[in-house]
Amino acid sequence: MFETAELGRKISKVTYDRELPKLRSALLEAHFALKNTRRQVIVIISGADGAGKGEVVHRLNEWLDPRGVDTYAFWQPSDEERERPPYWRFWRALPARGRIGILFGSW
């Protein structure tokens, strides 16, 4: 997946503003198409403090249909989570078929 990423690529503000509505529309169409499948999508948001993770989660929740998105924030594990296997807390948050799960925080 990352083999095709072009690092250092930039676009102008005018180009960004022109392309944004098309991208948002395509994302929403893909989201609605997902609802009729047996698949689910997991989006993991992680990174350094102050890197804009919260803004990314906010934008995704703003752009997608909230009826098909579950967002979970993971910070310090609770006592119950510490008594279980390490990834148990994430397993419980996996989305159902046709839904998107945004897992925000420490993976």
Rounded to the nearest 10 degrees, how much is the dihedral formed by the CA atoms of 80, 78, 59, 23? -40
Q: For residue 10, what pLDDT is reported? A: 84
Tokens of 91: 């397993």
Structure confidence by residue, pLDDT tens digits, 59-82: 999 999 999 999 999 888 889 989
Q: For residue 50, what pLDDT is reported? A: 83
Q: For residue 11, what pLDDT is reported? A: 87
Stated pTM of the model? 0.78
**Which of 3.30.930.10, 3.40.50.280, 3.40.50.300, 2.60.40.10 is the CATH number of 11-105?**
3.40.50.300
Q: Cβ of 35: how many Cβ atoms within 10 Å?
A: 13
Q: For residue 5, what pLDDT is reported? A: 66
Q: For residue 97, what pLDDT is reported? A: 93
Tokens of 7: 């690092």
Rounded (10°) angle between helices 53-63 and 13-35:
60
Closest listed residue to residue 96, CA positions, set 59, 69, 60, 57: 69
Please identify every stretch of the chain with a pLDDT value under 50, giving residue numbers as ranges. none
Q: For residue 32, what pLDDT is reported? A: 92
Q: Report domain extents, the chain.
A: 11-105
